Structure 1
Amino acid sequence: MAATQILDLEAFPAGADLSTKQFHAVKLNGDGALVTAGDGDDILGILEDKPKSGEQGTVSLAGRPKAKLGGTVSPGALLAVNANGQLITAAAGKRIVARAMESGAAGEIIQVQLINAGAIVPTP
């Protein structure tokens, strides 16, 4: 099922070498340039290509892009970002950025549904 569907794409300059960060979560830095998102960050979206610093990078702002995983996830799981910009199952207190549309393990690329509404998983 890992097919990209219905994406809202936009280009931004890369603020760092993102040539190894395709399908990772990204955000904008203070200069309005793309950088890898980290643990707890509010993301802009998912990087669709492999820009080097200063080149334009295409970002999925909404829809069902492919995303790289940083851990094992189940279909329907709410996802957060780890320190490397990969998506992981959201734990209590973490910002929800997407929902898994299929299962996968660390290092795999799966289809997700971007949520990115800034919701935090409640602490029980």
Structure 2
Amino acid sequence: MNDGNEKVIIVEGTSDKRKVLPIIREPVDIICTNGTISFSKMDELVEQLVNRDVYILVDADEAGEKLRKQFRREFPDAEHLYIDRNYREVASAPDQHLASVLFGADIDVYTEYL
């Protein structure tokens, strides 16, 4: 899981990962929760992500908020990134919007997306 990258972005699904990956210019691990996450999987993540910069980027819907609350408890130091509620899903947000959200969190993005 740790490819030597300091930053980790946690997203809900593989479509979110595919959407975000080409925008980011620096080496970042992107982890998919596939919607919900079990207690055992969460414990595993906590162990793996110790001493790393964790960013939470989930959909702007009820399921995303539920997941976000879970991560707030387990990763109190994680930075929560928010997409505009009008887009609802990370995968459907425009590249430019995602790039500005990521850039605002000090994640290096390709300038053509800004």
**Per residue, is there more strand in 1 or in 2?**
1
**Per residue, is there more helix in 1 or in 2?**
2
Q: Fold-level match, TM-score > 0.5?
A: no
When normalised by structure 1's length, the TM-score is 0.22
Q: Which has the higher contact order (CA 8 A, sep 6+)?
A: 2
